[in-house]
């Protein structure tokens, strides 16, 4: 039995429904990076340092604040308030709505705050600004240059991977190879528990728990666009193990398993009658049962998710057809299988 529900269709739908992970991850990242706001500073300042610091605080806008900060850092590069000033200006730049202005401010920040930790703080802001401004080439150029000197910068690795995934969904495959490379290294760092210096233990635990399945998920999408379905399937399986309540992984897996089944069904139909064809029938039916289970899992987890209703409706239609084919045109037991995979109700 064949159902016309190809991986290509699923991928197109995925470009619509997978819209929140990058922004939500950025929220976690922004909070984690904001941990530096409480660092000590401001002790034993000279009168001139105090005046220069006051000039930063009273400056009218981020551009003026950066100019005032440049005066302070040029004259007192080791001032005790440098970390606090760097963090404050980072937050100011991050809040700028215009992407082009934000990118320009971030580059000015880089000229003033040239310490490795400061550069690492501003680089994700610069990458995101270029992404919003639809300038992925500039984002990858700046990010890749930074990574050539700081290869273990998890924030930058993940930001570039996220941007490359977004571009792949927009049918721009230019950055797939780089994005897969950065994603693989990000996974190595996370699984080795290499906590970034600017995160405390609590932030790191939250960050890596949310991030790791998302990185595997992005690798699944990148490999799918690349044409490596086996690698894509493996990454989605891993993502589903790490985030068992994330419906998207199961939607993608169900689509890929269905594609495998349909190919097997075509092979079966091409064989002449005989024992070999009977063996292939058993194999095809076993694969179909796996598809049925995957469809039920995806349908259950996607329930109530408005962004996933289009694909869920299609999958429900396909599941019923498959179920009837395997159960003498009856739907008895199908809803029970779906219910088995529903997330437990929250208390």
- Is pLDDT at 34 greater than 80 in this prediction? no
Region 256-278: what's the mean pLDDT? 93
Query: b vs e for 226-246, b when ≥16 Cβ sit within 10 Å of the residue's Cβ?
Result: beeeebbbebbbbbbebbeeb
First to last CA, the chain: 42
What distance lies between CA 17 and its chain's CA centroid? Answer: 13
pLDDT at 273: 92
Per-residue pLDDT tens digits for 121-177? 999 999 999 999 999 999 999 999 999 999 999 999 999 999 999 999 888 999 999
Reported as a pLDDT band with limits 50, 70 and 90, residue 316 is very high
Instruction: Give 1 or 144, the one with higher predicted confidence.
Output: 144
pLDDT at 337: 97
- What's domain 7-242's architecture? Alpha Horseshoe (1.25)
Any idea where the domains of the chain sit in the sequence?
7-242, 247-340
pLDDT at 23: 42
Averaged pLDDT of the chain: 88
Of all residues in the chain, what percent carry a pLDDT higher than 90? 81
Per-residue pLDDT tens digits for 61-120? 999 999 999 999 999 999 999 999 999 999 999 999 999 999 999 999 999 999 999 999
Per-residue pLDDT tens digits for 286-297? 999 999 999 999
pLDDT at 199: 87
Query: b vs e for 87-116, b when ≥16 Cβ sit within 10 Å of the residue's Cβ?
Result: bbbbbbbbebeebeebbbbbebbbebbeee
Reported as a pLDDT band with limits 50, 70 and 90, residue 1 is low
CA distance linking residue 205 with residue 111, whole number of Å: 32
Region 242-249: what's the mean pLDDT? 94
Q: What is the largest CA-CA distance in the chain?
A: 95
């Amino acid at each position: 039995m064949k159902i016309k529900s190809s991986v290509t269709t699923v991928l197109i739908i995925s470009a619509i429904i997978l819209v929140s992970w990058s922004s939500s991850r950025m929220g976690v990242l922004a909070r984690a990076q904001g941990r530096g706001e409480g660092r000590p500073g401001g002790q034993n300042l000279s009168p001139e340092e105090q005046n220069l610091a006051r000039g930063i605080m009273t400056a009218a806008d981020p551009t003026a604040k950066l100019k005032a900060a440049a005066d302070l850092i040029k004259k007192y590069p080791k001032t005790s308030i440098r970390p606090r000033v760097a963090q404050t200006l980072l937050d100011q730049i991050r809040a700028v709505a215009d992407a082009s202005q934000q990118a320009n401010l971030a580059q000015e920040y880089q000229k003033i705050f040239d310490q490795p930790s400061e550069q690492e703080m501003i680089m994700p802001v610069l990458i995101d600004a270029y992404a919003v401004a639809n300038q992925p080439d500039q984002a990858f150029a700046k990010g890749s240059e930074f990574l050539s000197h700081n290869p273990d910068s998890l924030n930058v690795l993940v930001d570039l991977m996220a941007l490359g995934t977004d571009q792949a969904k927009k049918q721009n495959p230019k950055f797939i190879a780089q994005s897969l490379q950065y994603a693989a290294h990000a996974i190595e760092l996370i699984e080795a528990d290499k906590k970034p210096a600017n995160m405390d233990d609590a932030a790191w635990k939250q960050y890596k728990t949310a991030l790791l399945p998302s990185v595997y998920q992005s690798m699944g999408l990148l490999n799918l666009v690349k044409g490596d379905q086996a690698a894509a399937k493996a990454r989605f399986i891993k993502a589903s193990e790490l985030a068992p309540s994330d419906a998207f992984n199961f939607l993608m897996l169900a689509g890929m398993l269905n594609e495998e089944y349909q190919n097997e069904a075509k092979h079966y139909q091409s064989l002449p009658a005989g024992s070999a064809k009977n063996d292939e029938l058993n194999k095809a039916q076993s694969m179909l049962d796996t598809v049925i289970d995957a469809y039920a899992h995806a349908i259950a987890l996607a329930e109530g998710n408005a962004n996933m209703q289009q694909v869920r409706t299609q999958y429900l239609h396909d599941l019923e057809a498959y179920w009837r084919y395997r159960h003498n045109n009856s739907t008895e037991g199908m809803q029970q299988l779906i219910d088995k995979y529903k997330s437990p109700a929250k208390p």
